[in-house]
Amino acid sequence: MNSVVAIVGRPNVGKSTFFNRLVGTRDAIVDEFSGVTRDRHYGKTSWNGQDFTIVDTGGYVKNSDDVFDAEIRKQVNIAIEEAQVIVFIVDVTTGIVDLDQEVAQLLRQSEKKVFLVVNKVDNHKRAEDAVEFYGLGLGDYFCVSSINGSGTGDVLDGVVKELPTSDFVDEYEGLPRFAVVGRPNAGKSSLINALLGKERNIVTNIAGTTRDTNDIRFNAYGFDFVLVDTAGIRRKKKVHEDLEFYSVMRAIKALERADVCIVMIDAVEGISSQDLNIIGLAIKNNKGVVVLFNKWDLVDKETNTARDMEASIKEKLAPFNNVDVLFISVHEKQRLHRTLERAVAVFENRSRKIKTSELNDLMLPLIERNPPPALKGKHIRVKYVTQLPVRYPTFAFYCNLPQYIKEPYKRFIENQMRMHYDFTGVPIQIFFRSK
C-alpha cells in the first residue's frame, strides 16, 4: 500500500521544481495528475522498489513574504496530519527567513519524520552557506539542486527508509473493499449512515491505517464486503482544514486500500475539477470506479438532464468512459441498493480472469484482420496473448516489434476486449512485449 510524502515550504523555494524533477526524470515514476489548483499536484512514484504518493502542497502568500499566510499554515498542518513523511524545502540563496522559521516551528512540534532539504545548492560556496539552516532546529539537512537533480537521490534514499513497509493487517482478506470518496458535503457520511443505520448485521469496526479511516464490514441484504470509511472527518484542534486539499489527502489513502472507489458528486453543484481529480486518482491506481450523483431529488430536471450529465462526465474522463454513472438520493433512499449491486459488479469485473486459450482464439484472428500499422516498412505480428497474474485486468501481447505499437492501436485493442468482456468501471492495462 502506498504511503504519502508531502513537500512543504514557503513560496518560490523550488517545491514544484523538486516535485517535477521526481515525476519527470525517473523511469520508475508512473504518472502525474493535476490537483485542485494550478500550484498543487499529486504524483505516484517508486524508488528502490518502494511505491509512494508525493504531494506538492503549493501554498501562496497573498500580500508579502514577510507574513506567514494562513494558507501555508493550513497546508503544512494538513501535511503533518496526513503524510507519513514530510520534505521541508528551503532556499539557500535567501537564507533563513521568518516564513521558514514559522514552518519549522510547526514541524518541530509534530511527531512526523521531517527531511530538511536546502535547494539551489549548485556550487561549493552555496554548500558552505547551507550550514545556516542548522539554525532551524531540525537537525541535519540535504543539499540539492532541483534544476539539475543533484542530491535528490540521497533525499529519496532517506525517505523510503522511513516509509512503513506494511501499514495494516487485513483481517478481512478476500472480501471486496469499497471506498466512499468525494468532495466535502457530497453526501459520503449520509450514504454510509444510510447503509449502516437500518440493518444491524454489521460486524465491529476495525481501525485502519489512519486515525480517522475505518474498515467496516457490511454483511446484509445478501452482500458481504468491507466499506473503507473516509467520511468521518473530525475537526482536529490544530488543523483548520482546507477541505478541498484535505479531501484529496484522505482519498489518496482510502483508494490505496480499496478495490472499488464509489465517487460521490453533488448533483446540485455539478462536476468539478476536484471530482475529476479524485476519479483520476482511482484510474491511475487501477481501481474500479462507480460514479454517484447524489441529491438527485434536488435537481431541476428536464427530459434529458440525466443523459446529458452522464455524457458530460464520460467525455471528461475519456478515454476511460466505460463507467457506471448512477443518480441517487441518499435523503430519499433512492437507488441505494442499486449502488451496492454496481459496486459488487465492478469488483467482479476487476477480478475477471480469462483463459489463455480463449483469449488467443478471440484476439489473434481479430488482430490478423486489423493488424497494427506497419512502420518503416516493417510489419508487426502478434503471436500470443495472455492475462498477467495481478489483481486488476492486465494483458500481455507478445509480438516481434513491440516498440512500434502506438497508443491508438492499444486503445483499439482495449475497445475490442471491452466489447467481448464486461470490464465496466475497470481500467485495463495492455502491454506489448517482445515474443
Residue 59 in this model has a pLDDT that exceeds 60: no
Average of per-residue pLDDT across 340-364? 95
| pLDDT score for 214 | 63
| pLDDT score for 208 | 36
Residue 26 in this model has a pLDDT that exceeds 70: no
For the purposes of burial, counting CB atoms within 10 Å of the CB of 2, is it exposed (0-12), middle (13-18) or buried (19 or more)?
Answer: buried
Residue 308 in this model has a pLDDT that exceeds 60: yes
Tens digit of each residue's pLDDT (9 = 90 or more) over 266-299: 999 888 887 887 888 888 889 999 999 999 998 8
- Take residue 192 and report the three cell numbers written for it: 454510509
| pLDDT score for 6 | 87
Residue 417 in this model has a pLDDT that exceeds 50: yes
Residue 209 in this model has a pLDDT that exceeds 50: no
Average of per-residue pLDDT across 40-50? 73
Q: Which residues contact 161 (CB under 8 A, 6 or more apart)?
A: none
Tens digit of each residue's pLDDT (9 = 90 or more) over 210-232: 334 567 888 888 888 888 876 54
Please tell me which of 31-45, 52-66, 352-366, 372-386 the model is most confident about, judged by mean pLDDT.
Answer: 352-366
- Take residue 313 and report the three cell numbers written for it: 462526465
- Take residue 220 and report the three cell numbers written for it: 446484509
d(CA 190, CA 334): 13
In the structure, what pLDDT confidence band is assigned to residue 70 with cuts at 50, 70 and 90? Answer: low
Neighbours of 268 (CB within 10 A): 13
d(CA 381, CA 371): 8
Residue 84 in this model has a pLDDT that exceeds 60: yes
| pLDDT score for 296 | 93
What DSSP string runs through 41-53? EEEEEEETTEEEE
Residue 36 in this model has a pLDDT that exceeds 50: no
| pLDDT score for 319 | 83
Residue 418 in this model has a pLDDT that exceeds 90: yes
pTM of the model: 0.67
DSSP label of 81: H
Residue 172 in this model has a pLDDT that exceeds 80: no
More confident residue, 281 or 357: 357
Tens digit of each residue's pLDDT (9 = 90 or more) over 316-345: 888 888 899 999 998 888 899 999 999 999
b or e along 72-82 (b: 16 or more beta carbons within 10 Å of the residue's beta carbon)? bbbbbbbbbbb
**Which run of H or E residues covers position 283?**
helix 273-284
Mean pLDDT computed over every residue of the chain: 80
Please tell me which of 83-92, 199-208, 298-307 the model is most confident about, judged by mean pLDDT.
Answer: 83-92
| pLDDT score for 31 | 42
Average of per-residue pLDDT across 106-123? 90
For strand 288-294 and strand 324-327, is the pairing parallel, antiparallel, or unpaired? Answer: parallel
| pLDDT score for 38 | 34
Tens digit of each residue's pLDDT (9 = 90 or more) over 116-156: 999 999 889 999 999 999 999 999 999 999 888 889 889 99
Check: CB of residue 154 under 8 Å from CB of residue 142. Answer: yes
